[in-house]
Amino acid sequence: MGWESKKGRDGLIRQTLKIGTRGSALALTQTRQIAALLQNQYPSMQIEIVVIKTSGDIQKDVPLAKIGGKGLFIKEIEEALLAGTVDLAIHSMKDLPAELPEGLQIAAVPVREDPRDVLISAAGRGVDDLPEGARIGTGSLRRIVQLHSWRPDLEIVPIRGNLDTRIRKMKQGDFDGIVVAAAGILRMGWAEQVTQFIPAERMLPAVGQGVLCLETRIGEADLDAGLAFLEDGRTRREVTAERAFLRRLGGGCSLPVAAFAEERGDALLIRGMVGSLDEQTLIRHRLQGSAEKAVDLGTELADALLDGGGRAFL
């Protein structure tokens, strides 16, 4: 069923829209926020949120790098999208692999939430003030290699699970602190839990961190037009550069890589990092160029890191 042109405040409207998402509290919160914007724009549209359990949700006790990476959080949702079971999928952009399945596209990119990582610590201390040997929970190779570079004495302990699960484990004494994405904490309304917002200069975020992805099937121009009001051009250009970086490296969650692009006027600054698989060494680089050449900048940054020693890691 396509979008129909109607007179009145609805403008372009589809009678029904099925949105596919994971069932975690954060995924549902993010999806409901987008659904509310759609409902406000198209009051007559019937919106249904379809919860889909993914492989990443089922295999909770195994490190992501060992079971196929972050694509496991979206695989079943994309299959439902391709099958026509849902019309729109909403993901965290950082969960999206560098390459999309044939037939799917990123239809809209809303404005980015805070891209930084945060520390939530039991004693209310920042990273520099944590006691020697403090136990920090994170399941991210990207965070591990940067934490090791910053504080080699810290004991980094693997942790998986939803945000509320991680916070509960920290509060019950399993960890002295956990490092998670600021965006999820802020979207859940839990800002008071944060001990420290970690500067991107100190810990580069994951590709696409803080960004939501609205994914659709290719060829539904009417649906694309209906979602266009949610598009943020600046965020699109930034994340396009970051994903070009990831695509050139050929990596995902199984590799400790990071990239963060910031649009500054007509220019785009992109910083990147690649770490060794033993989590002990990292290489950083940055480039600046025209914001209209986001793909070229991301690709060039990846090449610079590879040529600067990163190829040995990969």
Does the annotation mark 95 as catalytic?
Answer: yes
Question: Tell me: the pLDDT tens digits for 33-51?
Answer: 999 999 999 999 999 999 9
Question: Is the CATH code 3.30.160.40 the one for domain 240-313?
Answer: yes
User: What is the model's pLDDT at position 131?
Assistant: 96
Query: Considering 61, 87, 95, 266, which one is annotated as catalytic?
Result: 95
What are the distances in angstroms from CA 243 to CA 62, 176, 312? 26, 33, 21
Each residue's pLDDT tens digit, 153-178: 999 999 988 899 999 999 999 999 99
Domains 4-110+211-231 and 117-198 share a fold: yes
Q: Which of 31, 97, 91, 90 is nearest to 64 (CA)?
A: 97
pTM: predicted TM-score of the whole model, two decimal places: 0.90
Contact 277, 252 (CB under 8 A): no
Instruction: Considering the domain delimited by 4-110+211-231, tell me its CATH architecture.
Output: 3-Layer(aba) Sandwich (3.40)
For residue range 186-238, what is the model confidence (pLDDT) as tens digits? Answer: 999 999 999 999 999 999 999 999 999 999 999 999 899 999 999 999 999 99
Residue closest to 16 by CA, chosen among 34, 37, 39: 39
CATH topology of domain 117-198: D-Maltodextrin-Binding Protein; domain 2 (3.40.190)
Tokens at 41, concatenated: 């724009």
pLDDT range class, residue 8, cuts 50, 70, 90: very low
Domain boundaries, the chain: 4-110+211-231, 117-198, 240-313
Instruction: Give, to the nearest 10 degrees, the angle between helix 294-305 and helix 233-249.
Output: 30
Measured between alpha carbons, how far is residue 287 from residues 26, 46, 222, 273, 293 in Å? 33, 45, 37, 12, 12
CB atoms within 10 A of CB 169: 16
CB under 8 A, 24+ apart: contacts of 303-309: 303/248, 305/249, 305/272, 305/273, 305/274, 306/248, 306/249, 306/274, 308/283, 309/283
Q: What is the pLDDT of residues 280-301, one digit of tens each?
A: 889 999 999 999 999 999 999 9
